[in-house]
A and B are shown apart, each in its own frame.
Chain A
Amino acid sequence: MASISAAVIDLKRLELLADSDSPVHVIDARAKVLVTFVFIVAVVSHNSYELARLLPFFIFPTVMIALAGLPMLYLARKIALISTFALMVGIFNPVFDRTILYQIGQWGISGGWISLLSLLIRSMLTVGAAFILVGTTGFTAVCQALERLGMPQLFAIQLLFLHRYIFVLADETGRSSRARELRSCGRKGLGVASFGSLVGHLLLRTWQKAERIHIAMLARGFVGRFHAHRQSSFGKAELYFLLGWSSLFIVLRTFDVTGTLGTLITGIFK
């Protein structure tokens, strides 16, 4: 299936973005991992009906994308794709929660719509932050940073292999689906029966391929440790980066900055 192969190539592009020398790229991976972690905790810890207080958090992805020179449209497409899953999770909120929370003229907006919108904004922010982290750091360096921050080496390596296995699986799925489609003549093939066999073969083939890749890695001296090519250390720049962003997120989480600004502005015009 061409779409699967295209999606894989598109996803691999994210890794390639990490090969740059922007001010964000050169920051030690540990600082970026920690800032992203604080950002995600601050965003998801808002209550499910919160909208206005989430909006200031868009400053983080905006500044990071601008400084790192990441392709805005590409990231927006990826975030939109993942947000459809969030949409599926919250799609029934407006059906079950009909309590009117806001009134705009004669239109009443129910809590269900507010919570759905809040869920979408939170997923956009958190998924966006994760993409920005990988796009400015690279997955290998992220895993290495997690290990250096105290995650057991075994978990870090497993995470890395899982990430590699997704590409192997998607590659093989693309080929098998294409072969099946071409011999199905536009129909359903043999339906579930052929689909079951296809999935079984996929598992075995990807297993074998993953083993061959592992052997190739062993042949080049791999002993369970990944080395990121970019060498960096946790210096002053990293400390400022970490403290600056984390403080901002904590302030945005603790105080209602949007509400205060709104009151100030409406106060001026009164």
Chain B
Amino acid sequence: MSHHIVEAKNLQHVYPDGTVAIKDVSFCITHGESVAIIGANGAGKSTLLQHLNGCLIATSGQIRIGDTPLSKGTLPDIRRTVGMVFQYPDDQLFMPTVFEDVAFGPLNLGLSGDEVDQRVVEALERVGAGHLRTKPPYNLSGGEKKRVAIATVLAMAPDILVMDEPTSGLDPFARRQLISLLREFQHTKIFTSHDLDMVLDLCQRTIILHEGVIMADGPTDEIFQNEELLAACRLEKPFSMQGCPVCNGKTNTKCHDAG
């Protein structure tokens, strides 16, 4: 069985204050799939994501990465397999320079000096951030930080890429660049996002979470056509599927001609 498969079975997580964040969540994501987990604020997306590499341990249920069930003993291997890019790059970048930050993961994998250098250079080049290697992370722009945060994970050569809100806080150009970059990756990809246009661009499959429960799991196109379902889950269609904001999509051509 491939290492690239992510399977959740009857996952439940209850926080110490009694909040039930996710309830009976089950899904299977197969090799090479690009899947979005969407939902309103507080739906349980980030909580679910943190279970995929053992940052949170489920109250009940099980996670399997390929053949390996997630447990304390398998954590190091699973954390190498599942690369996690967090929502706020400032939480992820903590070393004095970009180079050292990207080298942090490979050094923890026990790699030697030259191999670490090679991995760092390759990862930074891959995200177009090779020129930033000597800079301190806190001096970078939001888009640059995001790219470097992705490089820190790529340097560990993961099979599965998990990203929490990858396009949040980016300007339109940086967002478009990031989407193009993510499209090139051949990994199994799992995203959470409120940017539904990005989801439409990158993900063939979408899972909707609402109050900790999976409300829908299927092809992205079909899910985004179901306005009733989206409204019930406090979501809206992506902007690109909505009509022209001026004439509500009825006289698109005329509206543009007039403009």
- B96 interfacial by beta-carbon distance below 8 Å: yes
A interface residues, tally (CB under 8 Å): 25
Contact between chains at B156 and A221 (CB < 8 Å):
yes
Contact between chains at A219 and B79 (CB < 8 Å):
yes
Total contacts A to B, CB within 8 angstroms? Answer: 71
Contact between chains at B94 and A16 (CB < 8 Å):
no
A217-B136 contact, Cβ under 8 Å, with A212-B88, A229-B103, A229-B107: no
Whole-angstrom distance from the CB of A161 to the nearest CB of chain B? 11
Q: How large is the interface on B (under 10, 10 to 19, 20 to 34, 35 or more residues)?
A: 20 to 34
- B5 interfacial by beta-carbon distance below 8 Å: no
| In the bound complex, CA of A212 to CA of B49 (Å) | 14
Contact between chains at B103 and A221 (CB < 8 Å):
no
- Which of B83, B91, B100, B113 contacts A213, CB < 8 Å? B91
Contact between chains at A220 and B91 (CB < 8 Å):
no
Q: Mark A125-147, 1 if CB is under 8 A from B, else 0.
A: 00000000000001010000000
Interface-central residue, B84, B100, B109, B116, by most chain A CB under 10 Å:
B100
Report chain A residues within 8 Å CB of B156: 220-221
- Which of A212, A219, A227 contacts B107, CB < 8 Å? A227
A212-B86 contact, Cβ under 8 Å, with A12-B138, A220-B79: yes
- Which of A15, A212, A220 contacts B108, CB < 8 Å? A220
Report chain B residues within 8 Å CB of A140: 95
- B76 interfacial by beta-carbon distance below 8 Å: yes
A216-B116 contact, Cβ under 8 Å, with A19-B97, A221-B79: no
- A9 interfacial by beta-carbon distance below 8 Å: yes
- Which of B80, B84, B136 contacts A16, CB < 8 Å? B136
Interface positions of B from 104 to 139, Cβ below 8 Å from A:
104-105, 107-109, 113, 116, 134, 136, 138
A220-B55 contact, Cβ under 8 Å, with A19-B134, A138-B96, A164-B94: no
Contact between chains at B94 and A216 (CB < 8 Å):
yes
A216-B108 contact, Cβ under 8 Å, with A16-B97, A19-B97, A229-B100: no
Interface-central residue, B83, B96, B156, by most chain A CB under 10 Å:
B96
Whole-angstrom distance from the CB of B71 to the nearest CB of chain A? 15
Q: Mark B45-87, 1 if CB is under 8 A from A, else 0.
A: 0000010010100000000000000000000100110011010
- B92 interfacial by beta-carbon distance below 8 Å: yes
| In the bound complex, CA of A15 to CA of B139 (Å) | 14
| In the bound complex, CA of A227 to CA of B55 (Å) | 22
Interface of A is mostly: helix
Report chain A residues within 8 Å CB of B97: 16, 19
- B153 interfacial by beta-carbon distance below 8 Å: yes
- Which of A213, A218, A221, A225 contacts B94, CB < 8 Å? A213
Contact between chains at B96 and A221 (CB < 8 Å):
no
| In the bound complex, CA of A227 to CA of B106 (Å) | 10
Interface positions of B from 223 to 241, Cβ below 8 Å from A:
none
Contact between chains at A12 and B88 (CB < 8 Å):
no
Interface-central residue, A15, A218, A219, A221, by most chain B CB under 10 Å:
A219
A-B contact pairs, 20 of them (CB 8 A): A9-B138, A12-B96, A19-B97, A19-B100, A19-B134, A212-B88, A213-B94, A215-B86, A218-B79, A219-B83, A219-B84, A219-B86, A220-B105, A221-B76, A221-B105, A221-B156, A227-B107, A227-B108, A229-B103, A229-B113
- Interface on B for A, CB 8 Å cutoff? 50, 53, 55, 76, 79-80, 83-84, 86, 88, 91-92, 94-97, 99-100, 103-105, 107-109, 113, 116, 134, 136, 138, 152-153, 156
Which 7 pairs from chain A and chain B are nearest by CB?
A221-B108, A227-B107, A220-B105, A15-B96, A212-B91, A219-B84, A216-B92
Additional 9 contacts, C-beta under 8 A, given A216-B84, A219-B83: A16-B96, A209-B91, A212-B88, A216-B86, A218-B55, A218-B79, A219-B86, A221-B108, A222-B104
